[in-house]
């Protein structure tokens, strides 16, 4: 069962399961609401899945600051409701989480067992969701943290930059936040592998390499053939968004590589694939 099957990640995940011949069922709003324990429990008990992947979340980082109660209901209590439903039919649960559970003060990539210290409501509610999942089904769950996710079936940073390029010739993009841009199709490949292995605990999954939002934006502009666009640097303080952001949230993906014997492709190759899929790649 894919929870959040109509979302950016869920849509790509369901397509991949189809192509692999893996039987699945997707649930999403409005038919199934993870904030309603009866709603998700009823859906799970009707299907009795062997494995559940929960991709549902409230991911608007600034929106979470302004709608704290809803963020808690979806990201924390919703995660717990899915875990309770999984326990009811003895299903294994893979729950998606985020780099925003960290405060970004570490100078090296974050390991799975590094202490969490979220800065804002989004990170706080996702961290609480992790704790609730692991407390409900510690022996039948895997938390997969990823970061800087973009995909064809949802709002994302790549599309925001390309749209901005249509409106102005000079972009100002944050250059002091560091992470790993991750293409949904690459994350899906990793999830399928983890479905086979079913490791417990926490696993970080992201494309290889790292950059800043400015570096990411510069690569987007270059690959899309928009040489007339100038991408200038700015700081997080200058950006002045409602929610605080971790400055270095690069995830260490060593455990995933050890478990699977492989690594995801470099983030630049992932970006190239995305632009080719959307017919915007110009070399």
> What amino acid positions are annotated as catalytic residues?
122
**What is the per-residue DSSP string for 32-74?**
--TTSHHHHHHHHHHH--SEEEE------HHHHHH-HHHHIII
Q: Please report, for residues 108, 150, 267, the alpha-carbon distance to residue 274 in angstroms, rounded to integers and kept in the order given.
A: 28, 9, 10
DSSP one-letter code for 101: G
How many residues are listed for the chain in this entry?
283
DSSP one-letter code for 248: B
For 232, the token pair is 């200038």
Give 147: exposed, middle or buried? Use CB within 10 Å, 0-12, 13-18, 19+: buried
CA distance 249 to 161: 21
Instruction: Give φ, ψ of 50 to 5 degrees.
Output: -80, -30
Q: Which residues pair with 3 in a beta bridge?
A: 27, 54
Question: CB of 20 within 8 A of CB of 89?
Answer: no
Q: Which residues pair with 53 in a beta bridge?
A: 2, 94
């Amino acid at each position: 069962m894919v929870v959040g099957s109509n979302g950016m990640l869920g849509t790509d995940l369901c397509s991949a399961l189809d192509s692999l011949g893996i039987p699945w069922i997707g649930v999403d709003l409005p038919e199934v609401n993870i904030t309603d324990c009866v709603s998700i429990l009823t859906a799970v008990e009707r299907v009795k899945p062997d494995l559940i992947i929960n991709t549902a979340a409230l991911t608007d980082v600034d929106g979470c600051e302004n709608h704290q109660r809803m963020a808690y209901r979806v990201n924390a209590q919703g995660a717990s409701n899915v875990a309770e439903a999984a326990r009811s039919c003895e299903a294994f649960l893979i729950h998606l989480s985020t780099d925003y559970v960290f405060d970004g003060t570490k100078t090296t990539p974050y390991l799975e067992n590094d202490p969490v210290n979220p800065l804002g409501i989004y990170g706080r509610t996702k961290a609480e969701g992790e704790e609730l999942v692991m407390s409900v089904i510690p022996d039948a769950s895997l938390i997969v943290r990823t970061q800087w996710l973009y995909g064809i079936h949802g709002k994302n940073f790549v599309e925001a930059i390309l749209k901005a390029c249509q409106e102005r010739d000079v972009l100002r993009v944050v250059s002091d936040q560091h992470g790993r841009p991750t293409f949904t199709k690459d994350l899906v490949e990793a999830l399928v592998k983890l479905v086979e292995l079913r490791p417990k605990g926490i696993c970080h999954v992201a494309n290889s390499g790292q950059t800043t939002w400015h570096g990411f934006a510069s690569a987007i502009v270059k690959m899309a053939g928009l040489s007339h666009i100038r991408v200038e640097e700015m700081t997080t303080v200058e950006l002045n968004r409602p929610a605080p952001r971790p400055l270095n949230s690069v995830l260490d993906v060593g455990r995933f590589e050890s478990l699977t014997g492989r690594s995801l492709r470099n983030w630049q190759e992932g970006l190239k694939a995305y632009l080719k899929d959307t017919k915007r790649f110009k070399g």
